[in-house]
Structures are given as C-alpha cells and as structure tokens.
Structure 1
Amino acid sequence: MGPMPSVLPDGEPVPEDGALPARALEGAGDRPLGFYLHVPYCATRCGYCDFNTYTASELRGAGGVLASRDNYAGQVAEEIRLARKVLGDDPRPVRTVFVGGGTPTLLAAGDLVRMLGAIRDEFGLADDAEVTTEANPESVDPAYLEELRAGGFNRISFGMQSARPHVLKILDRTHTPGRPEACVAEARAAGFAHVNLDLIYGTPGESDDDWRASLEAAVGAGPDHVSAYALIVEEGTQLARRIRRGEVPMTDDDVHADRYLIAEELLSRAGFDWYEVSNWATSEAGRCLHNELYWRGADWWGAGPGAHSHVGGVRWWNVKHPGAYAAALGAGKSPGAGRELLSEEDRRVERILLELRLREGCPLDLLRPEGLAASRRALADGLLDPEPYAAGRAVLTLRGRLLADAVVRDLVD
C-alpha cells in the first residue's frame, strides 16, 4: 500500500498548523501508530505507473530547486517534527515505518537513516518496531544494504515484478532478470530478518509459463514474503496509450483469475500462506505489519508529497508536487492539501472493505440486514468459509478471493 496515487480527492482545507480535531486522539492509546515516508523520485517512469512520482526531467523548471532530492531528507524530517507538534503529548512509540515511492533507494542510504532518526528522536520506536523500505534492485548494493541495516531498517521490499525479460520490457522495468534474487541474498547477508518480493501478473504478452517462472524464481530466492498484484492499466499512462493504439493486447479478467490460482497453488506448496488477498508470508512474523495497520484502520502519519494520513477518523493528504511540499514546510506551514472527517458510517464501510480482504475476515456484526442477507447468499455460493461464519466472521474462500471486490460491494449494503 506504499505508493501514493497521482490524483488527490477533494476535501476541506487543512489548518496551516496542521491541527487535528480534539476527537481524533480520543482512545489513541488503544491504536498502534505508524509512519509512511513517501520518496517521490524515480530514475525513469515505468509505463504502467500512475503514482505520485517524478523523474529528474519532470522536476526541471518551477519548483525544481526546492524539489531537489539533495534536500529531501531534511524536508521529511521537518514534517516529522510538525507531526510531533500536532500530536502533542501522544505517548505512543511508533510501531511501524514504511518508506515507499517512487524509488526510495535513489536517495543515499544515509538519507533514509536520517529520516528514520527523526522519527526515533521525536516519537521513539517500539522495541519490536518494523522498519521497511522499498528498493529498486538496480539501486542497491551490499554496502548500501549494510548501511540501512546498521541504521535501524529490518525489512526490505524489492520490486521484482517478473523474471522474464520481455515482460519487464513491457513494464519498462530497468533491472536485469536475476538481480532481485541476488538482492535477497545480499539483504540476508546484511542482516535483514524479513524480505519481500513484489510481483505483477497479467502484463500484456505474459503467458502462464512466464508467470510460473516468475513465481518459481521468487520462491527460490528465499524471501519470507511475496506480494502478487494484478496489473491495473490506469488511464493516462504510457501502457494505456499503447493498448489503445493496439500495440499490445489488454489482459482480461479470466486471465487474471487463472494467474491468481497459479500463485496460490505454487506459493502454498512452497510454504507461503495468504493473509491478505494479494499477500503471502511464510510465518506470522513475516507479515507486513505496516500494511496490516492500514487494513485494520489504525493511525498513521504520511510524510512527503501526496502522502495520505489517518488519525482517529481524520484523513488528510499532502500537496502533490515536491516543490509545493518544500515551499509549505519552508514557510512553517502544514503541507496538507485537504482532509475529510470520517463519519461512523464511513468507518464501518471501510472496515468491511479492508478487513474482508484479510485471512481473519470481518465481524458479521458490522453488516446491516441487507449486507447480512448478502453474506448468507455468498456463503451458499461458496464465497465465504462456513466454519468462521458460524463463529460470527465473514472469511473469503479461495473462490471468494477471486471475486473479492464483488463480495465486498454486496456486504456493505
């Protein structure tokens, strides 16, 4: 869940000092607190990417000096200090930190460590804090990984996407096949306890055998976590334009379903268990706690251009452009672009939307009568697991995972 979307929603203005309504911190001690740090820089733009990221050429011109990545760690540290002021005497140490992008590892390892240090200085880290960064396989080496580990990072997520050169080419990924697997070994040697590989299925031109080869390569590398996402072709991307021109074919939903089943079969056989529809881990400890924090509606502060935050039913998002972000912080103001105050009904619906995707499912008592009736139909259709249902929870079966979006739409009624 690290990447930030390129389009921000509407919302009410954020106060210049970033102040939250008093109710946002009620009961905060019962909720974990995490930080997401967004690094918006990329060496090149991948053809499928719709995230809030920028290449060097895209940052030339207005705001380019302010947006320089040389200054970026200090800007994020400034927002972390703002967070401390906004959250006041909130005593919670930070449970999870996730640095995403973009390509965080385009920054010097010392810059990532500096941003983590700002969180440690202002809030403190829980003794068992999970500290993750995403990484491009071509942008790290053993020395870089060792510096990250020495600086407090204990989990890393490599963007593998595919093991097949022609699939990587369609995605405009620049790393060479085999490099992500080597990165896993280098991360283990540096002392990282937890390593994830991100995969994408359904790329135009990818075959079932290509997908199996990617899964086998990922498993063979020895990570304890694998994420596998269906490719979504977003309007406005280079890939969408290529499909529209007929240069590459569109992948249909049936192919996505087949690829998901292949992933479940191969990963399960290799000792990975699903714990969220798109995520598998070899143990409870291997799960991504930061993403679970999102899925369970806890509190997190998102620092960086376009980053989203949520504290106690208040959601807000920062200005998109790195130059505007730097200018706001330089003026002593919150970089928040807008916010919304979630109603109890909003939060109920979001719990169903997110928790149903988890292996533990969502409580049936969240459902209204119409949703409860829909859950009984889903149970009869084999989309929900009977045993947890009898205990009061809606848990997706494998077939239900294939149709998760449709099941969720019915249950939120």
Structure 2
Amino acid sequence: MPSTLPDGEPVPADGALPPSATAGAAARPLAFYLHVPFCASRCGYCDFNTYTAAELGGPGSGGVGREGYAELVEAEIRLARKALGDDPRPASTVFVGGGTPTLLPPDGLARMLDAIRGEFGLAPDAEVTTEANPESVTPASLAALREAGFTRISFGMQSARPHVLAVLERAHAPGRPEACVAEARAAGFEHVNLDLIHGTPGETDADWRASLEAAIGAGPDHVSAYSLIVEDGTRLARRVRRGEVPAPDEDAQADRYLIAEETLSAAGFSWYEISNWATGPGARCRHNLLYWTGADWWGAGPGAHSHVGGVRWWNVKHPAAYARALAEGRSPGAGRELLSAEDRRVERVLLELRLAEGCPLSLLSPAGRAAAERAAREGLLSSEALAEDRAVLTLQGRLLADALTRDLTD
C-alpha cells in the first residue's frame, strides 16, 4: 500500500494518554476526523490509505467491507471517550475523509456522527464536513446527509477538462461536480467546497483557467487548489518513470498558482491558507484551521492520525488489522510520539506561516528572526506585518513557502 507509517513508541492497549496531554484541555477545541478507506477505484496519483472492493475481498483481507464499517468507527469513538475520561469538550468540528466517504450509505455516515454526538456531544455551531466524489452522490443522498447533521461538503472536481481527468484517472464526467454543487445547495448545504489540482501533465494555462472558471461558476463558497505531487508508489509515478508522461513542471505550477490567485480574487474569493480560498471568514474550513493552529483532534479509522496536547499517534493502516484490534477490545494505534516543546514550536511555524494571518515572530529563534528580516527585504514576507511582530507571506513568498519555512525554523 502507498505511504508508510513511522515507528514511534507503542500505544497503550486502552489508548490511555499521559496526564500532560489532557492538562488544560478545556481551553482547546476538540475535533474528530473519521477516515473511510473505500474507493470504487484508485486514482493514478493518489497515495492515500484507500482500498477497492477487490482489494478488501481477497484472501488475507479479513473480509472488511463497507457493511459494518460504521460500527467499527463507533467502537473507536467509544474508546476515545474512555481515553479522554471526563473531558467535557463537545466536538467543535467533524470531518469525514477518505477514500470516498459517500460510498457508505448516508445512514452509515449518520451513525458515525451520532456516535460522536452521543459520546461527546456536538457544539451548537459545529461544522460537520464530508468529502464526496461527484459520481457517488445523488440529490436524495445529499438531502439525507444534510438531515443527519452534515453542514459542509467537499467535492473532488480536480479539473474541468476531459484529457486532464484522464491523466489523473478520475471517473466523473466533466460538468458533474458543478451539478453536485447545485444539488448540495438544494439539499440545504450552506458551505460547499470544490477541490482542484493544477500542474497535471498535458494541462495548459488555458485548461487551468477553464477549470477555475467552471468551479467559480458552479457557486461554491470555498475552493481548494493544489499543485500535483507525484508520489512514490503510485501509478502516475511509474508512468513518469517510464517516460509515458512528463513530470510536472515547477515553473508551470507556479504560473498556475498565480492564475488561481488572480482568478479567484477577481471572483470574490480570498486566500486564507496557501492552497485554500473562501468567499468570507464564515466559509473557511474550520476543521482544517484547527489542524493548522495546533488544536486537539481524534482520528478514527485505519491509518488515521490524532493529536491531543502534544501527543501524536496513528492507527494501523489495514482495515482488517484495525477491525481485529477493536474486536479484541484494544486500541488500533500503531505508534505514537510525545512532542517536545521545540517540536511544537517548529510545527507552529511550519503550519501557521501558511495562513494569511501568518505566525508571531515570538515563535522564531534569533536566527529565524534574522531570516525573516532578510525575507522581508526580498519581498517574501510583508514588511508591514513584520513591523507588527508577525511573519506573513507575500504572494511571491507563497510560491517559495517551503524553502522560506526551512530558513525560519533553522
């Protein structure tokens, strides 16, 4: 399977956390991520922890399928309740990702949400998101999800051009994601996101502009635009290695990012994280903002990652191993690490610098502050924000964020 998990130290069988993890927890938001690992087919560029029906139905698979999956996640949510003890926090956000969560029937997704509601409660204004592939929903299923308590939905559009979708091995027809936005709105979803990918081999600037315009025209209040990364172990990586398709061009990807910023800004969207634009503060993905600002979240499902109070852990990857652990009454955690104060400082810089608000200069070492001053002189950080003791990326800085972050955290 693509992507490997780190080793870490063992997770206690009961999932217990050290006292340091829950100290002061009441002042921090609590979120849940629920991983649904099923896909009808795997896209050639994807290295997520996903499985097709054929992969889960063969010898040694453990026979874990969509039927009964919600019950497994319920069991981990009950384990989370025990591990967090009398923690009084309701869930501020819930995000169901995958895979393709909407390959489960709406009542399966509702059951998982009900488990969180029953064990922890949901905040009155909780944001509840599910990802969806355009071909995996109908007006009826969207209405059922909204009725179950989902407030936000994110569709994988990726491109409006058939030849680009073909390289990505996406199954939906052009135009279907745009229709899904209308169907979601009709079902009562106020917040709808479309995911786009730029830099696919064979894509032109004109193709990318067409995708942006199609996405904007559909009427979402949020757009995510990611540059294509060729991940080791994927079919796309093998095609690139064999010379069947060219590797993504970094200069072209930078140009596409600038086109995205120009086009989305002109349409009333504002960037709030390097790859994310929203029509206003209320349309920002609150769940992802909790990740980027170091909040607590429990990740349930095979391969899901969690973080509570400086303790990070990750579950076993394969659904059969996940199911076996829960059936035996033990945590499905594969390993964990306790982050040091320095680890947490560096992570805050890495993540908060990606945000439009930037990160406070107090997080930087003396060498990092000197690097920030150089970056401001080079036009990569805002001089005005630096004068107010914050490191905030300029548009040019967003293009070079990875390299700049390394300088600031040295």
**TM-score interval, normalised by the smaller of the two chains:** over 0.9
**CA shift at 1:64, angstroms?**
3.3
1:301 to 292, 298, 302: 298
**CA shift at 1:6, angstroms?**
2.7
Separation in structure 2 between the aligned mates of residue 185 and residue 304 of structure 1, nearest angstrom: 30
1:92 to 89, 102, 109: 89
2:6 to 9, 20, 25: 9
- The match for 2:307 is 310
Which range is displaced more, 385-394 or 221-230?
Answer: 385-394
Separation in structure 2 between the aligned mates of residue 175 and residue 234 of structure 1, nearest angstrom: 22
Determine if the alignment matches structure 1 residue 49 to structure 2 residue 46.
yes
Identity %: 76
- The match for 2:227 is 230
Separation in structure 1 between the aligned mates of residue 147 and residue 331 of structure 2, nearest angstrom: 32
Separation in structure 1 between the aligned mates of residue 68 and residue 299 of structure 2, nearest angstrom: 18
Instruction: Write the deviation string for residues 237-267 of structure 1: whole angstroms up to 9, x where unpaired.
Output: 1001111111111121101100000000000
Length, aligned pairs only: 410
- The match for 1:405 is 402
Runs of 4+ in structure 1 off by over 6 angstroms are: none
Supply the AA of the counterpart residue of 1:163.
A
C-alpha contact 2:2 2:234 (8 A) present in aligned 1: no
Instruction: Write the deviation string for residues 371-407 of structure 1: whole angstroms up to 9, x where unpaired.
Output: 1110000000000011111111000000000000011
Separation in structure 2 between the aligned mates of residue 382 and residue 299 of structure 1, nearest angstrom: 34
When the two chains are superposed, the root-mean-square deviation of aligned CA atoms in Å is 1.0
- The match for 1:216 is 213
Residues 1:89 and 1:397: Cα distance change in structure 2 (over 3 Å): same
Instruction: Write the deviation string for residues 297-353 of structure 1: whole angstroms up to 9, x where unpaired.
Output: 000000000000000000000000000000000000000000000000000000000
Supply the AA of the counterpart residue of 1:120.
R
Separation in structure 2 between the aligned mates of residue 252 and residue 182 of structure 1, nearest angstrom: 31
Separation in structure 1 between the aligned mates of residue 264 and residue 357 of structure 2, nearest angstrom: 19
2:271 to 268, 271, 274: 274
Give matches, 1:100-139, under 5 Å: 100-139=97-136
Separation in structure 2 between the aligned mates of residue 113 and residue 5 of structure 1, nearest angstrom: 29
1:338 to 309, 321, 335: 335
Separation in structure 2 between the aligned mates of residue 150 and residue 362 of structure 1, nearest angstrom: 38
**CA shift at 1:65, angstroms?**
4.5
Supply the AA of the counterpart residue of 1:308.
H
TM-score by length of 2: 0.99
**CA shift at 1:66, angstroms?**
4.2
C-alpha contact 2:56 2:63 (8 A) present in aligned 1: no
Give matches, 1:140-159, under 5 Å: 140-159=137-156
**CA shift at 1:58, angstroms?**
1.3
Q: 3-state DSSP class of the match of 2:130?
A: strand
Supply the AA of the counterpart residue of 1:375.
A
Please list every run of 5 or more consecutive structure 1 residues that lacks an aligned counterpart in the other structure: none
C-alpha contact 1:66 1:326 (8 A) present in aligned 2: no
**CA shift at 1:109, angstroms?**
0.7
Determine if the alignment matches structure 1 residue 190 to structure 2 residue 183.
no
Separation in structure 2 between the aligned mates of residue 6 and residue 103 of structure 1, nearest angstrom: 18
Q: 3-state DSSP class of the match of 1:236?
A: coil
- The match for 2:251 is 254
**CA shift at 1:71, angstroms?**
1.1
C-alpha contact 1:109 1:144 (8 A) present in aligned 2: yes
- The match for 1:36 is 33
Instruction: Write the deviation string for residues 246-302 of structure 1: whole angstroms up to 9, x where unpaired.
Output: 111112110110000000000000000000000000010000000000000000000
- The match for 1:286 is 283
Instruction: Write the deviation string for residues 10-54 of structure 1: whole angstroms up to 9, x where unpaired.
Output: 100000000000110011011100000000000001000101000
C-alpha contact 1:69 1:107 (8 A) present in aligned 2: yes
Separation in structure 1 between the aligned mates of residue 199 and residue 49 of structure 2, nearest angstrom: 23
- The match for 1:68 is 65
TM-score by length of 1: 0.98
